[in-house]
Structure 1
Amino acid sequence: MTSACCPVGSLPYLAATHTATGRVVDLGAVELYANTTNGTNGILICPDVWGWNGGRVRAIADGLSEQGYKVAVGKFLAPALDGGTDGDALPPDGDFSMDWIKQFPWETQRPKVEAALGFLKAEGCSKIGVLGFCYGGHPACWASTVEPSVVCGVVLHPSMQLEGFAFGGDTAALLKSVRCPFLLAPAGNDLPMWSACGEFGEALKASAKGADCVFKEFPDMSHGWSCRGDLADEKVRRDVEAVMKDAIGFFAKYVLA
C-alpha cells in the first residue's frame, strides 16, 4: 500500500475472532453493526479498509458499549472490492486500489453517514462521538462538519490525506473545517504531516476547536496496529491498551459530559 491511504509497512488484514453481541441493521442507505443495549449517548465507528467486520472492529464496538455507549459501525465501503470482507471494503487477500477507493468521496458517503448518525439519534443519542480507523478518519472528519450532535472525534492511524490523493479535495481545508475536538493517534510510519507540528496537524489545530485537539503519537507502532496488530506482541498490546484508554477518556470528556 502507498501513502494514498496506508503507508509502506502497514499491518495486513486480521481476521475477526470476536463473538459479537450486537446486531446487523439495514437502514436502506447503509447497513450497520449496532450494539445499543447500554448508554444514552453514542459512538459511530468508521472502519478501515477491511470494513465493518475486519480485525477487532466489532470487538472494540462491543467494548465501547460496555463503557456505556450506544455504538454503530458503518458498512461504508460498499460496493466492496472483489467481494470484500463480509461484503464490505477489501477482501482478506486484497491490496489497496486507488481506482476502487475513488468511488467513495464525501458526497457519496454523506447519505450513509447521515443515516448512521440518524439511527443513533433515533436511539436517543443527543451527543455522538466518531471513531475512525485509517480511511474511517475521512468520513469521521466530514461528519463533524455537518452534524451538530457530533461533539468529538478520535482517529487512529489517520488517512484523511485521501481527501487530496483520491477525491480531488484539500486535506488541510477539511481539517480546518472540523467543528469539534479531535484526538489523533498516528503510528510511527504514518505521514509526518500527521504529527502535532506537521502540516495536517497544524491545520487541525487551526480548526474551530483546534485548541482542544489532542495528538498522541505511537512511534513504536505500524499503521493499523490499534485494530489489526498482534496482541501476542507485548509492545502492540501495551499500545493498543494505551490508545483505547486515551480514546475512552476523550469520549467520556465530551460525549458523556
Structure 2
Amino acid sequence: MAGAQCCENPPTLSSASGQGSVVESIGGLKAYTAGSSNSKAAVVLVSDVYGYEAPNLRKLADKVAAAGFFVVVPDFFYGDPYAPNPEKSIMMWLENHGTDKGFEDATSVIEYLKSKGIEAIGAAGFCWGGKVVTELAKTDYVKAVVMLHPSMVKLDDITEIKRPTSILAAETDSITPAELVKQFEEILSTKTEVDSFVKIFPGAAHGWTVRYDTNNEAAVAKAEEAHKDLMDWFHKYLK
C-alpha cells in the first residue's frame, strides 16, 4: 500500500458528523450506525485508513440507510486512525492495524448482526477496507461486496472470491492501477458462478469516493456516481 495517494486529502475527522448515532459496541467494536436496526438487510462500511469519523463516509452511510438498509461503520482502528505524521509513516501505522485483524473484527460485527435477526448482509470497503471486504468475499459471511479504490488486493485474492463482487476503481491510482483492475476483471469474467461488476472511473484518483471536496461540483458528482453503483449492487443482492 505504499504510495502517496493513500494519504492524500486527509479528511477532518469529526465524532459529531452524520445523522446517525455512535454505539459503544457492535460485535465488540464501537460503531457509527444509521437506519433502522429492524431492517432485514444491513451494509457494513469498512473505512480507509482515516477511520469511521470521516464526514464524507458518514454522509454515505446516511445515504445508504435512507435507501432502506441498516448501516454499520465500525471503528476498526480502536480510536487510532492514521494521522499524517512525518515521523510515523503509513507503513509503520499499518504494523499495528493490519487487514487480517480487520477481517477478524468484521466477522465479529457480522455475526452480531445475524444474531439480531438481520438476514442479508453486504460489505463495502474503501482503500484499506477494500482488502478486508475482499477477504469477506471469499467466505459465506456476506451476500455481496463492493470494493472502492481498494489497496493490497492481489490477483490470487480475486481467484478465491465466491460472493457477488463489484469493483469501483480509479483511472489514476498508483496503489491499484487500472491495468491491475482490468486483470481482476478478466479473472472474475471466468468465474461464471460469481456475478461481478467492474468499473474504472475516468479522471478519478484514489480515494475519490470518500475524500472529495464537497465544494467541487465535479468531484461530488463523480463520488455520487460511485455511491449509486454501490447502492444498486446491494439492492440487487440484499433486498
**Pair 1:37-2:30 in alignment:** no
TM-align CA RMSD:
2.5
Q: 1:119 aligns with which of 87, 112, 129?
A: 112
Distance, in Å, in 2 between the alignment partners of 1:172 and 1:213 is: 15
Instruction: Summarize the alignment of residues 43-122 of structure 1 with structure 2, pairs less than 5 Å apart.
Output: 43-78=43-78, 87-91=79-83, 96-122=89-115
In structure 1, stretches of 5+ residues that fail to align are 79-86, 162-170
1:217 Cα deviation from its structure 2 partner? 1.2
Say if 1:141 and 1:178, in contact at 8 Å, map to a contact too.
yes
Say if 2:127 and 2:149, in contact at 8 Å, map to a contact too.
yes
1:159 Cα deviation from its structure 2 partner? 0.9
- Of residues 10-19 and 183-192 in structure 1, the stretch that sits farther from structure 2 once superposed is 10-19
**Pair 1:14-2:14 in alignment:** no
The DSSP-based 3-state class of the residue aligned with 2:151 is: coil
The DSSP-based 3-state class of the residue aligned with 2:40 is: coil
Instruction: Summarize the alignment of residues 223-234 of structure 1 with structure 2, pairs less than 5 Å apart.
Output: 223-234=206-217
Say if 1:5 and 1:134, in contact at 8 Å, map to a contact too.
no
Say if 2:52 and 2:75, in contact at 8 Å, map to a contact too.
yes
**Pair 1:177-2:170 in alignment:** no
> Which residue of structure 1 aligns with residue 126 of structure 2?
133
> Which residue of structure 2 aligns with residue 158 of structure 1?
150
Go from structure 1 to structure 2 and tell me whether the alpha carbon gap of 1:91 and 1:202 turns closer, same or farther (over 3 Å shift).
same
Counting aligned pairs with the same residue, the percent is 25
Q: 2:187 aligns with which of 194, 203, 206?
A: 203
Say if 2:18 and 2:62, in contact at 8 Å, map to a contact too.
no
TM-score, normalization by structure 1: 0.80
Distance, in Å, in 2 between the alignment partners of 1:10 and 1:127 is: 33
In structure 2, stretches of 5+ residues that fail to align are none
> Which residue of structure 1 aligns with residue 233 of structure 2?
250
Matched positions, count: 232
Distance, in Å, in 1 between the alignment partners of 2:13 and 2:100 is: 30
Go from structure 1 to structure 2 and tell me whether the alpha carbon gap of 1:19 and 1:181 turns closer, same or farther (over 3 Å shift).
closer
Go from structure 1 to structure 2 and tell me whether the alpha carbon gap of 1:19 and 1:107 turns closer, same or farther (over 3 Å shift).
closer
The DSSP-based 3-state class of the residue aligned with 1:15 is: coil
1:155 Cα deviation from its structure 2 partner? 1.2
1:116 Cα deviation from its structure 2 partner? 0.9
Query: What are the superposed Cα offsets for residues 186-217 of structure 1, whole Å, 9 maximum, x if unpaired?
Result: 1121213443x33x33334445744x211111
Distance, in Å, in 2 between the alignment partners of 1:172 and 1:189 is: 19
Query: What are the superposed Cα offsets for residues 198-250 of structure 1, whole Å, 9 maximum, x if unpaired?
Result: 3x33334445744x211111121221111111122122111112111111111
> Which residue of structure 2 aligns with residue 168 of structure 1?
none
Larger strand fraction of residues:
2
The DSSP-based 3-state class of the residue aligned with 2:166 is: strand
Say if 1:5 and 1:159, in contact at 8 Å, map to a contact too.
no
Distance, in Å, in 1 between the alignment partners of 2:236 and 2:64 is: 14
Say if 2:27 and 2:111, in contact at 8 Å, map to a contact too.
no
Say if 2:20 and 2:32, in contact at 8 Å, map to a contact too.
no
1:44 Cα deviation from its structure 2 partner? 0.7
